[in-house]
Amino acid sequence: MKNVLVTGGAGYIGSHTVLALVDYGYNPIIVDNFSNASPKVIDRLEKLANRPIKCYSIDCCDKKALEQVFVENEIFGVIHFAGYKAVGESVQKPLMYYQNNLISLLNVVEVMHEHNCLNLIFSSSATVYGAPKSVPIYEDFPLHVTNPYGRTKLMIEEILTDYVKANPEFKVALLRYFNPIGAHESGLIGEDPNGIPNNLMPYITQVCIGKLDHVRVFGNDYPTKDGTGVRDYVHVMDLAVGHSLTLKKMENCSENLLIYNLGTGKGSSVLDVIHEMEKAVGHSIKYEIVARRAGDIAECYANCDKAYQELGFKAKYNLFDMCKSSWNFQQKNPNGIK
């Protein structure tokens, strides 16, 4: 079994990807500093995978510690999730974002280079498209970012593009996620934000469980079907499988820079999500229309043909499945994974 290092493997997308890697016959090894995830996630992953999962509690900014992981294990590839990801916080603390996200990436690539590990998947984001000129968004659309978080994603894409030009034996896949929501069907792992959630789905589930009073809908005057923002919500388990398919592709392809959108190709409005969630929980959800949130765009959804044609990636879960599994996770973990 090939060892795949998953940085940020205890986090939301990382933890689901660990399970998908096991399903696809890889041996995931987790690196996480647990700054935004609970160590309990590891026990739960072991339970779900029904086998031990090696985990190093280290920070990717600590190059020596990272090197030791490569000394102790022969690593076939790395999936790099570790990084700060809150847009608003990145505007307040830009240096913290540049420091953490860029240094950890540079360390990962340098250590991979020293150990002749040649396959890297980078966890990028649809945020690199900024406000797109049209939807759906294709991979060759112009890139433009509007906040430090997004800029770290774009800078890393550019750094890796330069790196593969100089090192053609090294393969990189840039996976641009749209809006991951949902949770593993067990309800044992899921999105577990600290404090009041910034993102729509965890906010809604916390309203449903009674921790927050009502959903604030940020604007209903966008040029969309019902005036609220439209996004491409994709089930985190579909996204997780997308990583395994990408690794399989990397094992057999000659290209050394792969770029894919991972979404469903379908746009849903904020009100669509609230109404679908009402079906999943079986009662109405209180919401209020408030002002637009600074920096938000009207519509963002993917064209996913490239990932389908080249990886065989096709999202199998719909919005109802996503709502149901998010709600299941919230109910089983009313106070998060503590």
- 293 contacts ligand UFG (rule: CB under 6 A): yes
**Judged by CB under 6 A, does residue 243 bind ligand UFG?**
no
- Is residue 277 at the binding interface for ligand UFG, with CB under 6 A as the rule? no
- For residue 309, CA distances in Å to 136, 162, 201, 242 come to 17, 26, 30, 13
Tokens of 302: 């993917």
Say whether residue 208 binds ligand UFG (CB under 6 A).
Answer: no
Stretch that binds ligand UFG, among 14-22, 55-63, 292-300, 318-326 (CB under 6 A): 292-300
Length of the chain: 338
Site for ligand UFG, residues 158 to 177, rule: CB under 6 A: none
By the rule CB under 6 A, 100 interacts with ligand UFG: no
- By CB under 6 A, which span of 215-223, 241-249, 251-259, 318-326 interacts with ligand UFG? 215-223
Q: Does 89 bind ligand UFG (CB under 6 A)?
A: no
* Residue 226, token pair as written in the block: 């019902």
Residue type at position 113: H
296 binds ligand UFG (CB under 6 A): yes
Task: Determine the interface stretch with ligand UFG among 12-20, 34-42, 59-67, 124-132 (rule: CB under 6 A).
Answer: 124-132
Query: Given candidates 76, 81, 203, 327, which one binds ligand UFG under the rule CB under 6 A?
Result: 203
Query: DSSP secondary structure string, 156-219?
Result: HHHHHHHHHHH-TT-EEEEEEE-EEE---TTSSS----SSS--SHHHHHHHHHTTSSS-EEEE-
Taking CB under 6 A as the criterion, the residue among 100, 104, 179, 256 binding ligand UFG is: 179
Instruction: Count Cβ atoms within 10 A of the Cβ of residue 95 and give its class: 0-12 exposed, 13-18 middle, 19 or more buried.
Output: exposed
> Angle 319-332/270-281 helices, nearest 10 degrees?
60
Task: Please name the residue that has the structure tokens 């229309």.
Answer: 289
Task: Out of 60, 126, 188, 245, name the contact with ligand UFG by CB under 6 A.
Answer: 126
Active site residues per annotation: 149
In the complex, least distance from residue 192 CB atom to ligand UFG, rounded to whole angstroms: 15
Shortest distance (Å) from residue 304 CB to ligand UFG:
14
- Rounded Cα distance, 222 and 216, in Å: 15
14-30 as b/e: b if 16+ CB within 10 A: bbbbbbbbbeeebbbbb
- From 21-29, 100-108, 213-221, 239-247, span contacting ligand UFG (CB under 6 A): 213-221
Q: Which is nearer to ligand UFG, 79 or 217 (CB)?
A: 217
